[in-house]
Amino acid sequence: MKTSTHGGKVSKTITVTTNDPAQQTIKLNLIAEVQVKFALEPFILNFGRFKKGEAQVRYISATGEEKDKTKILSATARGKEIKVETSANGYDNSKDKRIKVSVLPDVKVGQFRDVITITTDHATIKNMTISVFGEVAGDITVTPRSFSFGFFEKGKAMEKIVSLKANPPATFKILKAESTAPDVKIDVVPVVEGKEYQIKARVKDTFDKDSLRGNIIITTDNKEQPTIDVMYFGRLQKGPLPGPGVQRQPALPVAPPAPAAK
């Protein structure tokens, strides 16, 4: 059990599959009390979706039994989308809020990701990282920003739809939409001309490789979002589905969405 992201009472259930006809499945329950010496919360910082130009600030707090005697020596961002500051006295009337994270005003429209690297003088926890996510909304809202075809049989892949909507009073037109992988067919369907479009994507019946990965490149006449990328994944199912106790490879190898930080 990894305890780096847990505190307090933690329980895990382990399922064991055997070849014993009398006891094919055994469940083991693991319970532990994790004592937090020093930690930073949240360990994933999600700014959510916000309009360009809106001020966005979040704080990272120190927690644990040894938080008051642990100093944060440095905190730096790898990218250029956010500004990171530290204070031993805290921020926003709270001494525990040691790190202030602000989105820079000139950040580009679209999704951004960053990692904050932190060093401390703690006896055992010298280096820490915080993952940062967010999306700057422009004139066009794209849903979803990525998708998976999942596991599919040859010639039976489901059609996926990406929706593009204008945020009033903006209007836009799709000039073209193309797939970086030739095995995916793309169609543009106007819902309301100038305001809403659908991009329909389908894997061609001739696709016979193990896995599929690519991007839909959408070109518009909007100056703020002239090019929009939508990433996709998928995996061809060959043979019967795996039986009990056999783990198959994921069709979408990405981390789950982080919870929004307040």
Write the pLDDT tens digit of every residue in 73-101. 999 999 999 999 999 999 999 999 999 99
Kindly tell me if the per-residue pLDDT of 262 is higher than 60: no
d(Cα 42, Cα 131) in Å, to the nearest integer? 9
At 98, phi and psi to the nearest 5? Answer: -85, -25
Q: What is the mean pLDDT of the chain?
A: 89
d(Cα 194, Cα 116) in Å, to the nearest integer? 40
Closest CA to 184 of 139, 233, 124: 233
Kindly tell me if the per-residue pLDDT of 24 is higher than 70: yes
What is the pLDDT confidence band of residue 197, given thresholds at 50, 70 and 90? very high
- Quote the tokens at residue 186: 């793309």
Please state the rounded mean pLDDT for residues 47-64: 92
What is the pLDDT confidence band of residue 2, given thresholds at 50, 70 and 90? confident
pLDDT higher for 10 or 196? 196
- Quote the tokens at residue 248: 């198959």
Kindly tell me if the per-residue pLDDT of 6 is higher than 70: no
Domain boundaries, the chain: 1-35, 39-137, 140-236
Domain 140-236 falls in which CATH fold?
Immunoglobulin-like (2.60.40)
Question: Is 197 in contact with 191 (CB distance < 8 Å)?
Answer: yes
pLDDT at 257: 44
Tell me which CATH code domain 39-137 carries. Answer: 2.60.40.10
Encode the chain in three state secondary structure. CCCCCCCEEEEEEEEEECCCCCCCEEEEEEEEEECCCCEEECCEEEEEEEECCCCCEEEEEEECCCCCCCCEEEEEECCCCEEEEECCCCECCECCEEEEEEECCCCCCEEEEEEEEEEECCCCCCEEEEEEEEEEECCEEEECCEEEEEEECCCCCCCEEEEEEECCCCCCCEEEEEECCCCEEEEEEEEECCCEEEEEEEECCCCCCCEEEEEEEEEECCCCCCEEEEEEEEEECCCCCCCCCCCCCCCCCCCCCCCCCC
Residue 250 CB neighbours (<10 A): 12
At 136, phi and psi to the nearest 5? Answer: -95, 120
Please state the rounded mean pLDDT for residues 220-246: 82
Closest CA to 83 of 104, 97, 52, 64: 104
What is the pLDDT confidence band of residue 249, given thresholds at 50, 70 and 90? low
Kindly report whether the global pTM for this prediction surpasses the value 0.85: no
- The reply to whether omega before 242 is within 30° of 0 (cis) is no
Kindly tell me if the per-residue pLDDT of 245 is higher than 70: no
* Tens digit of each residue's pLDDT (9 = 90 or more) over 131-184: 999 999 899 999 998 999 999 998 888 999 999 999 999 999 999 999 999 999
